[in-house]
A and B are shown apart, each in its own frame.
Chain A
Amino acid sequence: MPNARVLRDIKARRGVHANEIARRAYLYVARNETLPPQVRHQAQLQLNTYGRYSRPTTVKNRCIVSGKGRGIISEFGLSRFQFRLQALRGELNGVQKASW
């Protein structure tokens, strides 16, 4: 069972996925300088009504094994410690311990 922060992150990801197209459309209108200011303002107000779990910036890549939020090696989606454990066990292809 993933921890609460991971669950929250999954919730945010679902929200982003569900609202992405409509949000994009509003963003297009709101940021379009060729449209009348009133229309752009209305679009911006609509954007403001979206909750926090619909913004892509809310989403954070966490460790897929331990759920840690810091020290993530993004190529593997693992925190640095989990990365070390798996690499030493030889579970990560193409990763070997450096020695010189």
Chain B
Amino acid sequence: MSTPSRLRALTQLRCSLFQTSYNPQGLRTGAKYLRQRLRGPSMLAYYPASLNLSRFIHQNPDMEMVNEDAEERLVDVLERRKRGKGAPKKAKDKSESRRLQKRR
């Protein structure tokens, strides 16, 4: 005789035997979030490591290297500022910001 109660007892017994969780209503237990592999390490490894030249130079001051591109940029900025073509000063608060003035 296979009555519903006996079937339930059978599943319960099977769960205890095979060490699976007894979940007759099929509730979501969130177990899949624990079972999934962690994706962070493989995500980090996607891009090949690249050399940050200015940081490398900053970290090794004894090697006395110069980042020529960066130096040239600084010289250019100075020259532009001398000619009055430099970037405007950063706004300290929102009222100084030019963003709102432009919209009007």
Interface residues of A (CB under 8 A from B): 1-2, 6, 9-10, 13-14, 16-18, 20-21, 24, 27-34, 56, 59, 61, 64, 77
Contact = CB atoms under 8 A, between A and B. Distances in A.
A17 B44 contact: yes
Given A14-B44, A31-B33, A64-B47, A20 B39 contact: yes
B38 A20 contact: yes
| Consensus secondary structure, chain A interface | helix
B30 A28 contact: yes
Interface of B: 27-31, 33-34, 36, 38-41, 43-44, 46-48, 50, 52
| Consensus secondary structure, chain B interface | loop
B83 to A, nearest CB: 27
A14 B46 CA distance: 11
Given A16-B40, A17-B40, A34 B27 contact: yes
Contacts of A2: 47, 50
